[in-house]
């Protein structure tokens, strides 16, 4: 009996020793296996800091760009004259209303406006949107580092493209932003918007280009080729720069879709570069003009008008007194050739007219009542009062 007890005690001791060996080995194995996880946890702060920046962008990249670009971004304050038709207070008196009736008295009042812009030359030329300064009686530009705003004058403006150039006189050379190549912008590229939304100076938002070449209509103004971005663009941002990660301007912040979140629009710099010299030197953009309104030709139209093919630019309207009217162009004529260039769509005709020189005599080929005709037209400059 005593022998069995000793044998059991010895067995328990051996079992405890083996268990201790197994436990120690397991800990060593787990420690080795979990070492990478522990290191990753210890480096978690570094990972978190990196994730605060857009993918592929260093943690200081955007802040550095803003530091360099910010001084060239300006705030634009305007005073715009508006007509306010109100009831004359004298006619609140029933006696006056009895003898004179209800009378509306037009009054003028000055309304403040707010926008953004950016400096494009050291001597004080500033680029912004036309709608920021439209009908402004007074324009003042606030530049970072100067205590007082500068009075500004409009050098040139264009309603259709929504572009304007201002000029200020500063006592020293000013910081500038360079215009980049918007044709190289791709969907998914990171961009930075700087402006003064709601009067909050030098507000910075970051996003990506979500689309290019967008046609958009805002309050009757038709934009044909805008960059779309999810960088926040709010009232007061208009005219401010949209920057790439090289700190170059690739767009001018212009509009926002109020029915959706994260949809803003900017005028690409390719549009700006093509007309900037005209705005500065001439104060306007010289546009060739015929004075026709055109539409597409479909199979039904081609059949009714006796056309050989469903292509061309159908004249749906002729402006009185225009070059087209003087050349005898009529409604339902169909342009198929203009200045030696084949016309298959309305856009083809629009582009051909745009490429013609003002004052140039052009030969055009068109169909009228199923007959092919050749006419000569003199291209004029589009009147300033004609929009669209």
Task: Note whether residue 20 is domain-resident.
Answer: no
User: Residue range 352-372: average pLDDT?
Assistant: 92
- Is the Cβ–Cβ distance between 149 and 106 less than 8 Å? no
Catalytically annotated residue among 77, 116, 162, 182:
162
More confident residue, 34 or 193: 193
| Residue 290, pLDDT score | 93
Q: Tokens 């669209």 sit at which residue? A: 388
d(CA 87, CA 92): 8
**pLDDT tier at 30 (50, 70, 90 boundaries)?**
very low
Residue 224 pLDDT more than 90?
no
d(CA 24, CA 195): 64
d(CA 157, CA 42): 58
Which SS3 state, helix, strand or coil, does residue 263 take?
Answer: coil
| Residue 107, pLDDT score | 66
Residue 89 pLDDT more than 60?
no
Domain boundary among the residues 230, 248, 282 is at 282
Is the torsion defined by CA of 258, 259, 262, 266 positive or negative?
A: negative
Task: Note whether residue 202 is domain-resident.
Answer: yes
User: Residue range 246-261: average pLDDT?
Assistant: 80
238 among known catalytic residues = yes
Domain that holds residue 142: 72-90+101-167
Helices 2-42 and 44-51: angle between axes, nearest 10 degrees: 30
User: Cα dist. 358→97, 156, 163, 307, 381 in Å?
Assistant: 57, 20, 22, 31, 6
> What's the pTM?
0.70
User: Cα dist. 243→11, 152, 297 in Å?
Assistant: 79, 24, 41
Catalytically annotated residue among 182, 210, 232, 238:
238
* Residues contacting residue 138 through CB under 8 Å, at least 6 positions apart: 78, 79, 151
* Residues contacting residue 7 through CB under 8 Å, at least 6 positions apart: none
Number of domain units in the chain = 3
| Residue 216, pLDDT score | 86
Residue 155 φ then ψ, to 5°:
-85, -40
Domain boundary among the residues 282, 305, 332 is at 282
| Residues 327-341: tens digit of each pLDDT | 999 999 999 999 999
| Residue 256, pLDDT score | 65
Residues 268 and 191 in one domain: yes
Segment (H or E) for 140: strand 136-142
- Is the Cβ–Cβ distance between 81 and 137 less than 8 Å? yes
Residues 297 and 374 in one domain: yes
Range of weakest confidence among 47-61, 101-115, 261-275, 279-293 = 47-61
Residues 189 and 124 in one domain: no
For the chain, the average pLDDT equals 82
d(CA 343, CA 351): 10
Catalytically annotated residue among 131, 182, 232, 333:
131
Residues 161 and 207 in one domain: no
Task: Note whether residue 29 is domain-resident.
Answer: no
Residues 278 and 294 in one domain: no
Task: Note whether residue 14 is domain-resident.
Answer: no
Residues 186 and 163 in one domain: no
**pLDDT tier at 86 (50, 70, 90 boundaries)?**
low
**pLDDT tier at 8 (50, 70, 90 boundaries)?**
low
Which SS3 state, helix, strand or coil, does residue 291 take?
Answer: coil
Residues 132 and 206 in one domain: no
d(CA 307, CA 309): 5
Segment (H or E) for 255: strand 249-256
232 among known catalytic residues = no
**pLDDT tier at 306 (50, 70, 90 boundaries)?**
very high
Task: Note whether residue 45 is domain-resident.
Answer: no
Domain CATH for 163: 2.40.10.10
């Amino acid at each position: 009996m005593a022998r069995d007890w000793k044998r059991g005690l010895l067995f328990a001791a051996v079992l405890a020793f083996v268990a201790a060996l197994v436990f120690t080995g397991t800990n060593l194995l787990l420690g080795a296996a979990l070492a990478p996880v522990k290191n990753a946890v210890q480096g978690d702060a570094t990972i978190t800091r990196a994730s605060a920046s857009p993918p592929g962008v260093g943690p200081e990249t955007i802040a550095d760009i803003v530091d360099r670009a910010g001084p060239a971004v300006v705030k634009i304050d305007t005073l715009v004259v508006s007509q306010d038709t109100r009831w004359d207070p004298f006619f609140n008196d029933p006696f006056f209303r009895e003898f004179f009736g209800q009378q509306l008295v037009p009054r003028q009042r000055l309304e403040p406006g707010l926008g953004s812009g950016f400096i494009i030359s050291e001597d004080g030329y500033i680029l912004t949107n036309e709608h920021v300064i439209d009908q402004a009686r007074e324009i003042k530009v606030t530049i970072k580092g100067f205590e007082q705003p500068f009075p500004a004058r409009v050098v040139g403006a264009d309603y259709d493209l929504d572009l304007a150039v201002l000029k200020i006189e500063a006592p020293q050379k000013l910081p500038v932003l360079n215009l980049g190549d918007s044709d190289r912008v791709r969907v998914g590229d990171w961009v930075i918007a700087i402006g003064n939304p709601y009067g909050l100076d030098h507000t910075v938002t970051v996003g990506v280009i979500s689309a290019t070449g967008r046609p958009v209509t805002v309050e009757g103004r038709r934009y044909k080729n805008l960059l779309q971005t999810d960088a926040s663009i709010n009232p007061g941002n208009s005219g401010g720069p949209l920057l790439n990660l090289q700190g170059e301007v690739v767009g001018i912040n212009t509009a926002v879709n109020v029915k959706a979140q994260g949809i803003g629009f900017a005028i690409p710099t390719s549009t700006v570069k093509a007309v900037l010299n005209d705005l500065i030197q001439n104060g306007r953009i010289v546009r060739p003009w015929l004075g026709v309104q055109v539409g597409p030709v479909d199979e039904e139209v081609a059949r009714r008008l006796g056309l050989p093919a469903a292509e061309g630019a159908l004249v749906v309207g002729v402006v009185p007194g225009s070059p087209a009217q003087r050349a005898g162009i009529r409604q339902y004529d169909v342009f198929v050739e203009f200045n030696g260039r084949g016309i298959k769509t309305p856009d083809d005709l629009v582009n051909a007219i745009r490429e013609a020189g003002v004052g140039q005599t052009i030969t055009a080929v068109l169909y009228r009542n199923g007959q092919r005709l050749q006419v000569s037209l003199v291209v004029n400059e589009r009147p300033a009062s004609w929009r669209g």
